[in-house]
Structure 1
Amino acid sequence: MVYCVLIACLEPFANGWVSGSSNVPGTVTHVCEHGMAHVASKGLPDCLPMTTALWGFAVSSFCVGGLISALFGGNLQEKLGRRLTIIVNNFGFIIGSLLCCVAVHQAMFIIGRILCGISCGLGSLVVPTYIGEVSTIKGRGTMGTCNQFLIVIGLLLASAIGLPLAKVPLWRINYAITAFPAIAQVFLMATCAESPRWLVSKSRFEEARATLQKLRGNCNIEQEFYDMVEGIHGAEVAGTVSNGHSRREGMDMIDSKEGAEINDTTDVELKAAGEDVADKENMSMLQVMKDPVMRRIGFTVFVHHIIQQLSGMNAVMYYSTNIFLLAFNNSQSMAQLMAIITTIVNFVATIVTVIVIDRFGRRPLLLIAEAGTCIFSVLLVIGYKVNSPGLLIASVFLYVASFALGIGPIPWMITSEMTPTHAASAVGAASTCINWCMNFVIGQIFPVIFAAIEGWSFLIFAVICLLSFLFTFFFLPETKGRSIESIARGYEKYRK
C-alpha cells in the first residue's frame, strides 16, 4: 500500500514543480538584458519578453490545462482505471516541460504550460482518488496527506534549484526537470496494484479480492471486502460474492466430484451477480445534483475546493518574491531567498500535518488552519500598513504554515473520503474543475490587484478565510476512522 501511494505521488511532485517553477526564475524568463536576442545560445533566445499581464497569463495558463482535463478526467479514470490513467497522464508533463525548455516564442512557452496543466489537473483528480481507494481506513489520513506533501516538496525544490538556475540560459533547465519524475512514473506505476474499489465497481470481484489482499498483506480482508461490495452493489450481491468465495475455500476439504459441482454453482452465482450490476452506471453530475444526499456531499466538497484557492495560498506561492520586495526595499536577492524559506516553512508544516492528521482528525485541523490564515492575513495587512518588514515576513510564514496544516491537503482528502464510489468520478471531476478554475482566477487577477493595492489585497483573503471557518464549523463532518459508506449513511437524513 505504501509503495503504491508513494509511486502515485510522483505526480503531485511534478504538479508542485510546475506550480513553483515560474516563481524564482520568473523575472529572467520574461525580462532580461538582451530579450529575444541569441547572445548566450545561438539556437535559443535569451528570454521571452512579456508584459506583466501576459506573464501573469503564462504563469496561470497551466490552470487552463487543469480545467480542460478536469472536464473529461472523470470519464477517463472510469474507463481506463486509476492506475492506467496515472500512467497516461504523464505524457502531458513530458511533452509540455520539453516545449517550455526549448521555447523560441511566447506562444510555445504558454502551450507547454497548458500541456503540463492538463497533467496537473487530471493528476489532481485521479491520484487522491487512487490513494483513498487503496488505503486502509486507519492509514487513510497519513496516506492522503502524502499527496499534498509531495506537492510541497516539488514547490520547495523548484524554488531551491530555481535560484542557481535563475540566469540565462539555465532558466530553461528549470522548466525541463518536470519530465524526469513523469518518465519514472510511467514505468514504476505499472508495478502498482489497481484500485480494488474500481475493480468491484466493474464487477471484477475475484480480481478485486486478490488485489485487496495484496495491498493488505497477511491481514484478513473479508469484512473490508464485504463492506466494499455492499457499499457499491448492495447487500445481496455482497452476500453472493462472499458466500461464493467461502465455498471455494472449502473445496479442498471435499471430494473432487462434489467440489466441481460447488465450483460450477459458485461460478454461476458470481456470473449472475456480475450481470445484475453490469448495467449499473456511475452517477453523472446531473444525477448527483438531483440526489439529495449526494447533492449535500457534493456541495460540502465543492465549497472546500473553492476555499482552498480563494484563501490566497497560491497568490503567495506564485508571487511571494514580489511580496517580499515590499519588505526589502526592492532587493531582488533577499526577496528570492525569503521565497525559498517560505517553501521550507510550507514543507515543515506539511510534515507536521502528516504526523497528526490521523490523531486529531480532519475537521479540527481544518478549523485551526482557517482561523490561522484569517488572523495572519490581517497581520500581514497591518505589517504592510505600518511598514514593518519583520511583521510582514512573520505573517507570510505563519500564514503558509496555517494553510499547510489543513486547507492544503484536506479538501483533496475529503473528496475521496466522503464520496461513494458510484459518484466518485462525477464529484471528483467537478471538484477538480472548480479548484483549477479558482486557481486560474487567482493567478490571473492577483497580479492586477496586488499592483493596485499591494499589501491591502490580503484583507480580501482574511474575509474569505473567516467565512470558510464558519462554513467548516457548521457543515463538515469528521471523516477520521470512518468508511465511505458510513459517512454517506450519515447524510441519509437529508433524503427525507
Structure 2
Amino acid sequence: MSADISETGVPHNDSRNSPLNKPLLLSAMVAALSSINYGWVIGSVNIPSQVIEKCSGGPETWSNGFPSCIPMSSTLWGLVVGLTALGAWAGSMFSGQIADRFGRKRTLMFNNVFFVAGALLTCTATSIAQLAIGRFVSGIGCGVAANLVSTYNSEVATTRTRGFLGGFQQLMILIGLFLSQIVSIGLSTAPLWRILFSISAVLAIVQTGLLFFIPESPKFLAIKDRTDESRAALQKLRANLDITLEFNELTAMLESSRESAAMPKPSAWQILTGKTEIDLRHLVFSVLFLMMSQQWSGAKGVMFYSTEILSTTFHLTEEEIKKIPTIAQLLTLGIGGIGAVAVIIGMFILDKIGRRTVLICSSLATAICSVFIVVGSKLDIGPMVATFMYFFNLVFQCGAGFIPYLSASELLPYSVLGSISGLATSINSLTLFIVSFIFPILDKALGPYLFLPFAVTNLITFLFAVFIMPEAKGKPISEVMKEYQGPIHIANNPFASRASKRSENAAETTFYRLLDHLFSIFTNYM
C-alpha cells in the first residue's frame, strides 16, 4: 500500500495531486480559442493600418462594391481601434450573469455569435461607421472571453496546475496577436485585408464545434445540483485518477457557500467603503489598481500602433511603405512573438519568487525601457527605438501583463469576487479604450516624447508594487485578508527591519508614518 502513497500521505492516484494531463490541457486549449480570437481581433489592425486608413497602397478605388481603403484621420482611426475595448467593457458587464445561468460552455458558444458578426461587419466594411460598429461588436466577444476563459480554466484546474492555467489566458491572447501579425504580412494589401478580418469568424466557428467535445465546468454543474453530471465531468478531466476526495471537497465547499449565501451579500458600495465584516478596502484597491495599470502601461499602444511608430522612426517613404513587408512590419512581427515567449517565462517564475517581486521588476524595467525609447526617438536612432520596444514588451509581459488577471481570485473572498471582478474588468476595458483612442493623438502631439507619459505611469505601478501591493504567494485567502485588512495603507516598508533598530524619530520612520496618515485621511472620505 505504501507504494500508492506519496511522501505527503496523499495517494498517487488521488486527482488532487494531479499534474497537467491531456484531457485537462485539451479542454483548457479549446476554451482558450476565445482568447486566441481576442488576440486576433486586437492584433489584426496593426500591420494593415496604413493601407486601410491612409490608403498607402494607392488611391481609393472600388471593386465589386467594396473600396480598397477607408480613408480617415488619425483621431478617427484611434476611435475605431479603441471601440474594441469599449465593446469589451460592454461584454464584461453581462458575461458573468449569463455564464452563471447557462454555463461556461454554452456562454462561450453563444459568444462566438459576436465574433462572427463582428468579423462579417469589418471584412465587408464600406464606411467608417460600419468598420467602427464591427470593431465594437467583436469587442463584446473579447470582453466575454476575457471573463469566461479564465473562469472556466480556474474551475477545471487542479491545485498543481492553477498557476500555470492562470497565465494561460494571457499567453493565448498573445499567441492570437502573433498569429494575426504573421498572416497580416501576406494580407495587408487591398483587398486582402478583408480576408484578414474574416478569419476571426473562422476561429469562432471552429471553436463552437470543438466545445461539444469538452466537459462543462464541474463546479458550475455542482452549483446547479447536477451532481451526477458534475462527477462525470470531473472524471473526464482527471482521466484514470480517483476523484472521490476532490469531488467531496468540491461539494463540501459549495455547501458552505450555500450557507453563506443565505446571509445578505454586501453591495459594491459597502465593499468599497469598508462596511463589511472584514475591511477589504486595501485588497479591493489593489485589484482595481492592477487592472487599470495593465492598460495604462502603454503596452496595448505598442500592439495596436507599432507599425506606424516604427514607420515614422525609420523615416519610410510612401514608396517603401508600399513594398510589403516593410522593416516596420517585420519588426512588429517580432514584438508579437517575443510577448508570447515572455508570458511563458513569467508563468514559470511567478510561483518561485512571488507576484509582488515579479511586478516590481517588471514595472520598473518597463519604465526604464520607455525612457530609452524616448531617448532613441529624440536622437533619431531607429534601431535603438526598435530594440527597446522589444525589451519593453518582453519585461512587461513577464509580469505586469498577466499578474492583474490573477489578483482578484487570489486576494478576495468568494462573497465579493463576482461584483469586484466585474468592476475590475470594466475599469480595465475602459482604460484600454482611453489609451487606444488617445495614443495616435499623443503621437502627433508629443512626437519623440510619446512614451514619456508611459514612463511615468509604469513608475507609479512600480511604487505601488513596492509599498502597497499584497503578496499572496503560498497564502490562503483568509490569511491574506487578515494580513492586509483595513483602508488603503503602506503595507510594505522596505526599510522596516532597519527602521525598527533606530529611534522613533528616524527620518524614514517619520516618512512612512506620514504616508500612512495621508492614506488614512484619503480613505476616510471614500
Return the TM-score normalized by structure 1.
Answer: 0.84
Query: Of the candidates 365, 375, 379, which is equivalent to residue 382 of structure 1?
Result: 375
Q: Distance in 1 between matches of 2:288 and 2:253?
A: 23
| Shift, 1:21, TM fit | 0.7
2:50·2:308 contact (CA, 8 Å) conserved in 1?
no
1:203·1:278 contact (CA, 8 Å) conserved in 2?
no
Q: Distance in 1 between matches of 2:253 and 2:281?
A: 18
Which residue does 1:491 correspond to in 2?
Answer: 481
Query: Of the candidates 129, 133, 140, which is equivalent to residue 111 of structure 1?
Result: 133
Matched residue type, 1:90: N
2:299·2:396 contact (CA, 8 Å) conserved in 1?
yes
Which residue does 1:418 correspond to in 2?
Answer: 411
SS at match of 2:66: coil
Q: Distance in 2 between matches of 1:384 and 1:126?
A: 40
| Shift, 1:190, TM fit | 2.6
Q: Distance in 2 between matches of 1:415 and 1:96?
A: 30
1:78 to 2:100 alignment: yes
1:96·1:114 contact (CA, 8 Å) conserved in 2?
yes
Q: Distance in 2 between matches of 1:375 and 1:129?
A: 34
1:148·1:350 contact (CA, 8 Å) conserved in 2?
yes
Which residue does 1:46 correspond to in 2?
Answer: 68
| Shift, 1:84, TM fit | 1.7
SS at match of 1:346: helix
2:412·2:481 contact (CA, 8 Å) conserved in 1?
no
Q: Deviations over 1:115-135 (max 9, x none)?
A: 100000111111112111211
Which residue does 1:29 correspond to in 2?
Answer: 52
1:443 to 2:433 alignment: no
Which residue does 1:170 correspond to in 2?
Answer: 192
1:285 to 2:240 alignment: no
Q: Distance in 1 between matches of 2:161 and 2:249?
A: 17
1:395 to 2:388 alignment: yes
Matched residue type, 2:157: S
| Shift, 1:309, TM fit | 0.3
Which residue does 1:312 correspond to in 2?
Answer: 298
1:340 to 2:296 alignment: no
Matched residue type, 1:322: E
1:37·1:46 contact (CA, 8 Å) conserved in 2?
yes
Matched residue type, 1:151: I
SS at match of 2:126: coil
2:119·2:138 contact (CA, 8 Å) conserved in 1?
yes
Matched residue type, 2:308: N
| Shift, 1:160, TM fit | 1.5
Which residue does 1:91 correspond to in 2?
Answer: 113
Query: Of the candidates 315, 321, 325, which is equivalent to residue 329 of structure 1?
Result: 315
SS at match of 2:170: helix
Q: Distance in 1 between matches of 2:85 and 2:178?
A: 20
1:132·1:416 contact (CA, 8 Å) conserved in 2?
no
Query: Of the candidates 365, 382, 404, which is equivalent to residue 358 of structure 2?
Result: 365
| Shift, 1:364, TM fit | 2.7
| Shift, 1:490, TM fit | 2.4
Matched residue type, 1:4: S
1:132·1:417 contact (CA, 8 Å) conserved in 2?
no
1:139·1:358 contact (CA, 8 Å) conserved in 2?
no
Q: Distance in 2 between matches of 1:422 and 1:224?
A: 22
SS at match of 2:363: helix
Identity of aligned residues (%): 34
Structure that is richer in helix per residue: 1
Q: Distance in 1 between matches of 2:465 and 2:421?
A: 19
Q: Distance in 2 between matches of 1:361 and 1:458?
A: 28
2:83·2:136 contact (CA, 8 Å) conserved in 1?
yes
| Shift, 1:293, TM fit | 4.7
| Shift, 1:50, TM fit | 1.3
Query: Of the candidates 72, 78, 90, which is equivalent to residue 68 of structure 1?
Result: 90
Which residue does 1:58 correspond to in 2?
Answer: 80
| Shift, 1:147, TM fit | 0.9
C-alpha change, 1:70 and 1:283, in structure 2 (3 Å) is farther
Cα RMSD, aligned residues only: 2.5
| Shift, 1:143, TM fit | 1.3
Query: Of the candidates 446, 449, 452, which is equivalent to residue 453 of structure 1?
Result: 446
| Shift, 1:226, TM fit | 4.9
Which residue does 1:101 correspond to in 2?
Answer: 123
Q: Distance in 1 between matches of 2:373 and 2:250?
A: 47
2:472·2:480 contact (CA, 8 Å) conserved in 1?
no
| Shift, 1:350, TM fit | 2.4
Return the TM-score normalized by structure 2.
Answer: 0.80
Q: Distance in 1 between matches of 2:262 and 2:209?
A: 33
Which residue does 2:35 correspond to in 1?
Answer: 12
Give the number of equivalent residue pairs.
452
